[in-house]
Structure 1
Amino acid sequence: MSDTMQARLKKTVVLVGMMGAGKTAVGKALAIALDAPFLDSDAEIEKAANMTIPEIFERDGEPFFRLKERQVISRLLEKERGILSTGGGAYMAAANRDIISEKGVAVWLNADLDLLWSRVRHKDTRPLLRVPEPLAALTRLYEERVPVYAMADLTVPSDPGISIDDMAMRVIEALKTRPDVLEVQG
């Protein structure tokens, strides 16, 4: 962002999308560019539970995790305005979509399956991909989730080779279309 442009966040920007879409990395860059706090629902859940997400999935199961996720997202949206990165499955729950629409704005970081696979295939931190055929699992999740992500307030396409900072700038450009979310001065 140029030094002359000032922007004020009026609502929390909630980044949604598949694992590997860049929600955390782009969220951090966006928070710096907009001088806003960065919040990560997965990190908050881990802190509260004193366990990693994979450990929570293994010990308590996905339904328990989704309940905690909803509580954390709700709490974070009640707090200060900022940039909130959510887990890939968070937006799938209607209750989460409702509270995000009510208190913030959902921005879908839309990356295609090939790009997502290139980013997540070597990571073992994804509990939903700890299966014998992770690409098939990712493909199934992608096909299930894309129609729901498409309901987000704003969609920002991600391309192979785009930098994190350029992706953050794409999000800012999309947010400029929403004066109820981002007030630009100067």
Structure 2
Amino acid sequence: MTRSIFLVGPMGAGKSTIGKLMAAQLQLPFVDTDKVLEERTGADIPWIFDVEGEAGFRRRESEILEELCRGDSHIIGTGGGIVLLEENRRQLQKYGYVVYLQANIDQLLERTSKNSNRPLLRVPNPRQRIAEILQEREPLYREVADIICDTNDLSPKQASLLVAERLSNLLSG
């Protein structure tokens, strides 16, 4: 069984950016579950949410996760809500090392404010919505995490080096 490195955390925590840097460092391929979903469907995430709702999106997301878990080792950036389904949490823990990339509300709001591809933040008060999402998901991120890395005030390169160091400690310890 191969072991991948799964990056979990809220939107804006840096999963895709940090994942790409880690993939280069560790010489592993990087896969973003949202990008795979968009490529397979030929539609962007907001459109899938509009047409199929969040439940339809989560079903598709789970199918992609299951497929990736059965493949070669990768660095895998997951969608922020992948931890909502119990089966996904089991798969993350069974097939890889899970890194929870953590950031505070101010950082998340700043990092997501320029991206309109975030259907859950199409609300009058994005700060409040981020707070609600964190309250719901924080315990689930912690439940699956082998490592927790705070990305507040770190550049993507600094964060990727921190994650690599913590993974090395985990694997050698």
**TM-score, with structure 2 as normaliser:** 0.94
Q: Which residue matches 2:95? A: 103
Structure 1 counterpart SS, 2:148:
strand
For residue 152 of structure 2, what is the aligned residue in structure 1? 159
Structure 2 counterpart of 1:69, from 61, 71, 77 = 61
Amino acid at match of 2:115: K
Q: Secondary structure at the match of 1:178?
A: helix
Partners of 2:74 and 2:47 lie apart in 1 by: 28
Range that drifts further, 143-152 or 47-56: 143-152
Whether the 8 Å contact between 2:109 and 2:126 is mirrored in structure 1 is no
SS of structure 2 residue aligned to 1:166: helix
In structure 2, distance between residues paired with 1:125 and 1:38: 20
Two-structure CA RMSD over aligned residues (Å): 1.2
Preserved contact between residue 8 and residue 15 of structure 2 (Cα < 8 Å): yes
SS of the equivalent of 1:88 reads coil
Which is further off, 33-42 or 162-171? 162-171
Q: List runs of 5+ in structure 2 lacking aligned partners.
A: none
> Partner residue of 2:140?
148
CA distance in 2, matches of 1:170, 1:148: 22
Distance between the aligned counterparts of 2:66 and 2:169, measured in 1? 25
Q: Are 2:112 and 1:120 aligned?
A: yes
CA deviation digits over 1:15-72, x for unaligned, max 9?
Answer: 0000000000000000000000001100011111110011100011110110110010
Offset of 1:178 from its aligned partner?
2.6
Superposition TM-score, scaled by structure 1 size: 0.88
Aligned counterpart, 1:5? none
**Structure 2: distance between partners of 1:55 and 1:29:** 29
Corresponding residue for residue 20 of structure 2: 28
Q: Is the 8 A contact 2:30 2:75 kept in 1?
A: yes
Output the amino acid matched with 1:22.
G
Is the Cα contact below 8 Å between 2:4 and 2:73 reproduced in 1? yes
Report if aligned partners of 2:105, 2:127 keep a CA contact under 8 Å in 1.
no
Aligned-residue offset at 1:177: 2.4
- SS of residue paired to 1:177: helix
Match of 2:170 in 1: 178
Higher mean alpha-carbon deviation, 34-43 vs 112-121, is at 112-121
Separation of aligned partners in 2, 1:158 and 1:35: 22
Which of 31, 34, 37 in structure 2 is aligned with 1:42?
34
Secondary structure class of the residue paired with 1:106: strand
1:88 paired residue number:
80
